[in-house]
Structure 1
Amino acid sequence: MATPSSSLSGSYACTDTLKGVFYGPGSVKTALPKLLDIIGGKKALIVTGRSLYTKTDVVKTVEDILKEHNAYGATFYEIGEHSPIAGVKNGVKAFKDAGADIIISVGGGSPVDAAKAILYFFQQETGGPFLRQIAIPTTLSAAEYTISAGLKDEQGNKIRLISEELAPAGIILDAELTLATPERLWLSTALRALDHAVENLYRPFVPIPLTYLCYAAIADLFTYLPKSKANPQDLEARQRLQIASWMSIWPMKSDNHGPLGLSHSLGHKLGAKYGIPHGITSCLTLAPVVGLKAEVASQEDKKALAASLFYLRQESTGSLDGDVRKLSTLIRQLVDDLGLKSTLSQYNVPKADLPKIAALAVGNDEDPLVPRTVALLESIYA
């Protein structure tokens, strides 16, 4: 196991809601008590998934820390992929039954989003103030940095809740807790982080400093993902990937920038409805969407994408469109090298559904981008 440098530990605080991000291997032991003290939580409900609870010691580690500080209430582990609303409703009951006043989410984006939703519905029911969440992610999907929660209803449709109050009050990035994360989940959620970083480059109203954080995230994801695959015990690579995930979608005071782009929109339409993990949807859609940008994006957006080559230490092709296509090729090659190449047919997406998926993702049946998006989906079908 590689030993990370001391520069990979520290803390950060920004908005009124987010009181602190603590990072570093082993940081959960000191960071969790600190955050409970800062936020004021007295009794915690842990929200997690069944596999993490039953197949690893990660949740037990968190339970033991809470018990040591007399802050443990109960553990709720009925959260499935895409945070089904039935599980969230059961989570509200578990929160009340435990007499909890704070949630500790442990796992990937589904427990984090489920925790947001549990606290949202609890507030709606009680009429009191929003209670808070401390997120301890074990994947790289970066749900802990957003003010929205994505749920799945009984028909498999995506439901989105948005409020600044939903943002976690504390985040702990402890690379040691990610060692038990299955390789495919770990690597594919990193592609989700890459999707955030790339699509932030052409997202409306993103502040310039965030753009440069995204370039750094792209560079680190390309650098440390192969290292993490080659040596899954390399804590420095894992910690740097967690920090890259953070940089890919840096938390801000309000969500006043525009939505992320076509790759994310397609991922939302494919994920819950067809049971495709969000990390895998990014493996499917990001490279072809960037390739499409070479044809349809504004000059400004093409320049933003093409500039990624500098941070990846890649030579320019000599043309803006060529550079955007080269970035698309590099992303596709990274997906392949990580063993994450996938197709829509693998997930039993009916080919007849592709026009509907494209129209929903674009948001306007009459938009000339719809037929191009259908062609994009057909290119990744089989």
Structure 2
Amino acid sequence: MLSPATIISKFLLQHYQGFYSWTDTLKGIYYGPGSTSTSLPKLLELLGVKKAFIVTGRSLHDKTDVVKKVEQILKDSNAYGATFYEIGQHSPIGDIRKAMKILEQVEADVIVAVGGGSPIDASKVIRYHLQQDSGGKTIPQIAIPTTLSAAEYTKGGGYLNDQHLKVSINSPELAPAGIILDAELTLATPEKLWLSTGLRAIDHAVENLYRPLVPPPVKHMAYAALADLFKYLPLCKKNPESIEIRQKLQIAAWMSLFPMKLEKYSAIGLSHALGHKLGGPYGIPHGITSCLTLAPVVKLKAETASESDKEWLAGALFYLREPSTGSIEGDILKLSSLIQKLVDDLGLHSTLTEYKVPREDIPKIATLALTRSDHPLFAKVVKLVEELY
């Protein structure tokens, strides 16, 4: 008779391990527990690269064996160049400059980003600046995420400039060439970081429901992501060692920001815009900014969104197995309440007071998020930020 552990392992291998490929830039997404050891060598061969430069953060490097495992796989493939582990939160430009110098010294031809949104975004920025400096084609990137921030699915990235302001870059060539979703590597991720980036994934899914140019099939994938994230985040808090739950959450994060080739640039919505202006300047992690801003922004949408966007938002209740209130606006307000309840239940409630955000900065934050102070929603957004204290 097979043991329960063997049965679970066979189930995971059969249902949550596989491969997906799309577009000229993204050569493949490998997913499944333990998949790094087999898929990383495959991606190196697929990309035709010889020497890898690992970009990661200090905590992941110093406090876990995740980076060492990736280094060993690269060494076994005779493809290890060097590791840079000083990428700070929100990818400061000073850290990026240091990494660029080392990458050029070792003559690496591929970056392997290991960790959350900061090293993944930093790798995109490194590649972008190298491309700008050389005027040639950028080197490829392989992303091995250990959070649910979903930065690996976009062709854009962000960093903090010398004035600690968020700067965004965007280019079709910046999408990673390969992504590895290995739930085993997420076991070392701190609980608050893991769960809060799960809220970041919910933020992606919700804002894809009213983001311009997103086609209906992708919106329905966002619904599926919401259903799984709402289900599995609380289960993961109760059973943090479950690799099965973690793998399902990684796939849900993938669905929350499914790779798309849009006709033109389409920015994520107001919750993300506020998060970008709160995160870097005030040292608030990306996941926590979503915990702060998403529920209030959805509440505001019940009042200000277009009828089409309201219908998409209200439709989320069906996928969350929640009854309708009887009105579209009421359903959106209920969605906002459900998001806030999830934040609270996961122990992720916080305030701007905790992060010492000066109240006098509120108008500036609203202006930067909306891109101008004469925006029709300026007064409402100022009030929204005031209520985050």
| TM-score band, normalised by shorter chain | over 0.9
SS in 2 for 1:347: coil
SS in 1 for 2:41: helix
2:270 aligns with one of 253, 262, 278 = 262
Aligned equivalent of 1:127: 135
Kept in 2, the 8 Å contact 1:206–1:257? The answer is no
Structure 1 runs of 4+ aligned residues shifted over 3 Å read 1-4
Aligned equivalent of 2:296: 288
Q: Distance in 2 between matches of 1:251 and 1:136?
A: 16
Aligned equivalent of 1:235: 243
Aligned equivalent of 2:377: 369
Kept in 2, the 8 Å contact 1:147–1:255? The answer is no
Q: Which structure 2 residues correspond to residues 244-255 of structure 1 after superposition, within 5 A? A: 244-254=252-262
Long gaps (5+) in structure 1? none
Kept in 2, the 8 Å contact 1:150–1:158? The answer is yes
Could you tell me how far 1:125 is from its partner in structure 2? Answer: 2.2
Paired residues in the alignment total: 381
2:280 aligns with one of 248, 253, 272 = 272
* TM-score, scaled to structure 2: 0.96
Could you tell me how far 1:123 is from its partner in structure 2? Answer: 2.0
* TM-score, scaled to structure 1: 0.98
Kept in 1, the 8 Å contact 2:213–2:262? The answer is no
Could you tell me how far 1:300 is from its partner in structure 2? Answer: 1.0
| 1:43 is aligned to 2:65 | no
Aligned equivalent of 1:179: 187
Q: Over residues 297-332 of structure 1, what are the superposed CA-to-partner deviations in whole Å (9 max), with x where a residue is unaligned?
A: 111111100100000000000111110000000000
Kept in 2, the 8 Å contact 1:28–1:174? The answer is yes
Could you tell me how far 1:254 is from its partner in structure 2? Answer: 4.2
**168-177 or 292-301, larger mean C-alpha shift:** 292-301
Q: Distance in 2 between matches of 1:257 and 1:332?
A: 30
**114-123 or 207-216, larger mean C-alpha shift:** 114-123
Could you tell me how far 1:258 is from its partner in structure 2? Answer: 2.3
Give the direction of change, closer, same or farther, for the CA distance of 1:363–1:296 in structure 2 (3 Å limit). Answer: same
Aligned equivalent of 2:347: 339
Q: Distance in 1 between matches of 2:260 and 2:384?
A: 32
| 1:309 is aligned to 2:322 | no
Long gaps (5+) in structure 2? none
SS in 2 for 1:78: coil
Kept in 2, the 8 Å contact 1:266–1:358? The answer is yes
Q: Distance in 2 between matches of 1:368 and 1:122?
A: 40
Could you tell me how far 1:244 is from its partner in structure 2? Answer: 0.8
**363-372 or 9-18, larger mean C-alpha shift:** 363-372
Q: Distance in 2 between matches of 1:116 and 1:367?
A: 31
SS in 1 for 2:158: strand
2:87 aligns with one of 79, 83, 93 = 79
**Counterpart AA for 1:336:** D
| 1:59 is aligned to 2:92 | no
Q: Which structure 2 residues correspond to residues 95-174 of structure 1 after superposition, within 5 A? A: 95-174=103-182
Aligned equivalent of 2:367: 359
Kept in 2, the 8 Å contact 1:164–1:254? The answer is no
Kept in 1, the 8 Å contact 2:224–2:255? The answer is yes
SS in 1 for 2:212: coil
SS in 1 for 2:354: helix
Q: Distance in 1 between matches of 2:27 and 2:263?
A: 18
Kept in 2, the 8 Å contact 1:343–1:380? The answer is yes
Q: Distance in 2 between matches of 1:255 and 1:234?
A: 40
Q: Over residues 85-131 of structure 1, what are the superposed CA-to-partner deviations in whole Å (9 max), with x where a residue is unaligned?
A: 01111111111111210010000011001111111222222333211
Q: Distance in 1 between matches of 2:185 and 2:264?
A: 33
| 1:207 is aligned to 2:210 | no
Q: Distance in 2 between matches of 1:72 and 1:213?
A: 37
**152-161 or 250-259, larger mean C-alpha shift:** 250-259
Give the direction of change, closer, same or farther, for the CA distance of 1:364–1:127 in structure 2 (3 Å limit). Answer: closer
Could you tell me how far 1:253 is from its partner in structure 2? Answer: 2.6
Kept in 2, the 8 Å contact 1:204–1:257? The answer is no
Q: Distance in 2 between matches of 1:16 and 1:135?
A: 16
Q: Distance in 2 between matches of 1:253 and 1:12?
A: 16
